[in-house]
Amino acid sequence: MEKAWAELSPEEKREERFKKWLSPPGVTFASPQAEKLYKERVTRFIKAFTLKEPDRVPCILPSMGLYAATYAGTNLATVMYDFDEMKRAWRKVLHDFDADTYVPPVLVPPGPPLELMDYKLYKWPGHGLGKNVLSYQAVESEWMKPEEYDHLIRDPSDFWLRVYMPRVFGALKGFNQLSPFTSFEEIVTGNFLPFANPEVQAGLNSLMKAGMETMKWMAAVGEVAVEAMAMGFPGVMSALAKAPFDTLGDTLRGTQGIMMDMFQRPDKVHAAMERIAPIAIATAINSVNTAAAPIVMMPLHKGADTFMSVKQYETFYWPSFRKVVMAFVNEGITPVLFAEGSYNKRLDIIGDFPKGTVAWYFDQTDIFKAKEKIGDRCCIMGNVPTSLMMTGTPQQVKEHCRKLIEGCGKGGGYVLAGGATVDEGNPENMRAMMAAAKEYGVYK
């Protein structure tokens, strides 16, 4: 089996993965009708992703983030800690909108384990942010110092375990006293010694507790996801991956840091991205292999128009990013590339993928231009403006969707979707968007 898989071409692998998505092993549908709807919905997405005309334009409502919480009358602070409330909220969205897909609360992390670990990379309501704030937010900082590039490049896992993790998890601060795990001595008693240290032991204890807390959350998330599947609503993303430049810029060096590095140590930036890419690839493929939908979502940040010039994009962002994307394509996985902000100046570059293998999901880009420039090679997704979804009327939303469908839907290869995610706002706008897909999106 293993060998047979390795011998398949990327196209054959994609076929196999789509087949598994259409008939997911181990799923019991609630009724034959639910199964029929499930297959229809999955087929709709597969056709759009592979640039064919489905029965109608598929739609992903921009409710995949935290919307369910506010919609159900609760808030982020509550659902991050009270998993019964989380289940209630996501069930309500599942039942109330006759959508094409169900997005589980994977973007709503559980509060207890993060609190146990004293996580510093994010702030969330009640933990660095006011209780009523509707989102969790990243704390940009120099989590990796410029002089630490060499350590990261030499041994990313060692850097992570002994430098990065002690820095971002207060509970693991003792881990900076560990010795490297990769030791070539045969009798490694020296490696055991740090585990006698009470700070290290406290860290291990916190990890075990965090594991148990995360299990509870996983069970709650899984419960509603299984129900959704049984009702006939497929998932559309099974893994997240980042562009190597964003891992460096968001996670490790911060915006300020990475921009300085582009001038002061460009070689290190490139070498670090080379090391990061295979890890990002392997992690996402593992996640996809355990799920039904062969889709990896890549939220892209620092390659947007306003962040860097075209030349900088071509030099620093695109090569390692494309490498990661192509690794997914070659494994038969469809990457959904979420271009946050605008990509108007990148349209001559970003279509360079085999036909029908990737989907570009646009936020503020001129999507009609994108359809014209790369629509013959890539599926186009987006881009009902977040501001319109939150401040407009249902009529305005529906009208905007009609224009998108007419402009981008031609010949297939289009998924109606939001710009960024919507955290609150008039549910009638969500319904108007879904109605537009059903009313205007039918291919005849």
Partner 1 sequence: MSGDYVNLLADLKEDEVLALTKKRLDAKEDPMKILEDSRKGMEVVGSRFAGGEYFLPELVFSGELLKQINELVKPHLKGAVTQKKIGKVVIGTVAGDIHDIGLNIVDFMLDVNGFEVTNLGVDVPIEKFIKAVKDTKTTILGLSGFLTPAFDAMKETVEALEKEGLRKNLKIMIGGGQMDDDVRKYAKADAYGKDAMAAVALSKKWIGAA
Q: Cβ 149 to partner 1, closest distance in Å?
A: 17
By C-beta, is 134 or 204 nearer to partner 1? 134
3-state secondary structure of 381: strand
Give the DSSP letter string of 99-154.
-S----GGGS--HHHHHHTTB-SEEEETBEE-TT----EE----SS-GGGHHHHHH
Distance in Å, CB of 392 to partner 1, minimum? 7
- Tell me if 239 sits within 8 A of 226, measured CB to CB: no
Nearer to partner 1, 214 or 315 (CB): 315
> What are the residues binding partner 1 (CB under 8 A)?
123, 128-130, 132-135, 137, 139-140, 255-256, 259-260, 262-264, 306-309, 312, 341, 364, 385-388, 390-392, 419-424
Give the nearer residue to partner 1 in terms of CB position, either 61 or 220.
Answer: 61
CB of 289 to partner 1, least distance (A): 33
Alpha-carbon gap, residue 358 to 46, rounded angstroms = 11
Token look-up 């099974």 returns 238
Query: Which CB atom, from 308 or from 325, has the smaller least distance to partner 1?
Result: 308
Shortest distance, position 341 Cβ to partner 1, whole Å: 8
Q: Which is nearer to partner 1, 286 or 309 (CB)?
A: 309
- Give the shortest CB-195-to-partner 1 separation in angstroms: 36
Q: Is the dihedral of CA 251, 254, 260, 263 positive or negative?
A: positive
Nearer to partner 1, 116 or 420 (CB): 420
Tell the smallest beta-carbon distance from residue 418 to partner 1 (Å). 11
Q: Which residues of 22-34 are buried (b: 16+ CB within 10 A; e: fewer)?
A: eebeeeebeeeeb
**What is the crossing angle of helices 254-264 and 266-289, to 10°?**
130
CA 38 to chain centre: 22
How would you classify the pairing of strands 137-138 and 122-125?
Answer: antiparallel
Element (H, E) at 20: helix 10-22
Nearer to partner 1, 230 or 262 (CB): 262
DSSP string, 302-339: TTSTTTS-HHHIIIIIHHHHHHHHHHHHHTT-EEEEEE
Distance CA 96, CA 403 (A): 26
Quick one: which H or E segment has residue 379?
Answer: strand 379-384
Instruction: Provide the minimum distance between the beta carbon of 400 and partner 1 in the complex, in angstroms, as a whole number.
Output: 11
Segment holding 202, helix H or strand E: helix 198-231
Least separation in angstroms between CB 386 and partner 1: 5
Alpha-carbon span 226 to 289, nearest angstrom: 17
How far is it, in rounded angstroms, from Cα 349 to Cα 217? Answer: 41
Comparing CA positions, the residue from 110, 135, 132, 136 lying closest to residue 123 is 136
Q: How far is the CB of 256 from partner 1 (least distance, A)?
A: 6
Radius of gyration of the chain (CA): 22
Residue 33 or 387 having the CB closest to partner 1: 387
CB of 364 to partner 1, least distance (A): 8
Nearer to partner 1, 135 or 197 (CB): 135
If the CB atoms of residues 82 and 305 are measured against partner 1, the closer one turns out to be 305
